[in-house]
Amino acid sequence: MSMIKVEEVSYVYKTKYQKIEALKNVSCNFEERKFYALVGESGSGKSTLLSLLAGLDLPTQGKIYIEDKDISIMNRDEYRLNMSSVVYQAFHLFPLLTAMENVMFPMEFKKVPKKEAKEQAQLLLKKVGLSDKIYSQYPQMMSGGEQQRVAIARAMASGGKIILADEPTGNLDTENEKLIVEHLKRLAHEEGYTVIVITHNTQVAMEADLVFRMCDGYLSEVKA
């Protein structure tokens, strides 16, 4: 089943002096239970496409459908809150919250009772391979790999089935890179997520079910 459909999408950045075509007639599908990689040089349009998939902006032309619903007529705040999450290279954990509190945050924001949120956060942290000794630690006390796994658990806590990851292994060593990729693949293949990862890392891209390449705003399929 297609979770996301992108149909002839173009996006133009306008400044006072020029227009920049960041995306040009991009069309593709992203299905549930699949792990995708989006590759290309800096400035090729990858991050622009990811921001549109995250509902942070709308295409200049074309349509994006989420479960066959036009994102332009959806409540995009609710979409970001309930259906999709973004995982960043720099982790973006709340520095004054513990690992447990970071994962509980999106559930408490949605008024989930604290006891239930805590129980669910524990399950999610275990799913990403973190032991209970991490639960009470603050981000600065954790390794990069541990922080990124907390960030993935927090993304899962939103309850949505779309995870968009922008260079999620960019700040990690090889061992932690492998762990993060394994967790993202498992979420796609075993738990029904649609996982889309921007990466410059060839090894990460090789693990994907399908690779799309961006070049000068155009999208092409590399590997099926």
Are residues 60 and 66 in contact, defined by beta-carbon separation less than 8 angstroms? Answer: no
The two three-digit tokens of residue 199, written as one number = 């990466």
Question: What token pair was written down for 219?
Answer: 């999208």
> Cβ atoms within 10 A of the Cβ of 104, count?
24
The pTM score is 0.91
Does residue 199 surpass a pLDDT of 90? yes
Q: How do residues 135-191 score in pLDDT, each as one tens digit?
A: 999 999 999 999 999 999 999 998 889 999 999 988 888 888 999 999 999 999 999
β-sheet with 162-166: strand ranges across:
84-88, 162-166, 194-198, 34-39, 210-215, 218-223
Q: Averaged over 25-31, what is the pLDDT?
A: 96
Q: Which of 2, 13, 36, 6 is nearest to 199 (CA)?
A: 36
What residues contact 64, with CB distance under 8 A and at least 6 apart?
Answer: 4, 5, 6, 7, 9, 52, 53, 70, 71, 72
Residues 31, 224 contacting (CB under 8 angstroms) = no
CA distance 205 to 203: 5
**Span 60-114, pLDDT tens digits:** 999 999 999 999 999 999 999 899 999 988 888 999 999 999 999 999 988 999 9
H helices present in the chain, as ranges:
46-53, 76-82, 99-109, 114-127, 144-157, 174-191, 202-206
Asked if residue 122 has pLDDT above 70, the reply is yes
Tell me the Ramachandran region of residue 55: left when phi exceeds 0, alpha when psi lies from -120 to 50, beta otherwise.
Answer: left
d(CA 67, CA 58): 17
Give which of 23, 20, 22, 30 is closest to 9, Cα–Cα: 23
Q: For the chain, what's the residue count?
A: 224
State the CB neighbour count (10 A cutoff) for residue 90: 13
Q: What share of residues in the chain are helix, strand, coil (percent, to 5)?
A: 35, 30, 35
Work out the angle between the directed axes of helices 174-191 and 144-157 (0-180°, nearest 10).
20
Averaged pLDDT for residues 113-124: 94
Q: What is the pLDDT of residue 223?
A: 64
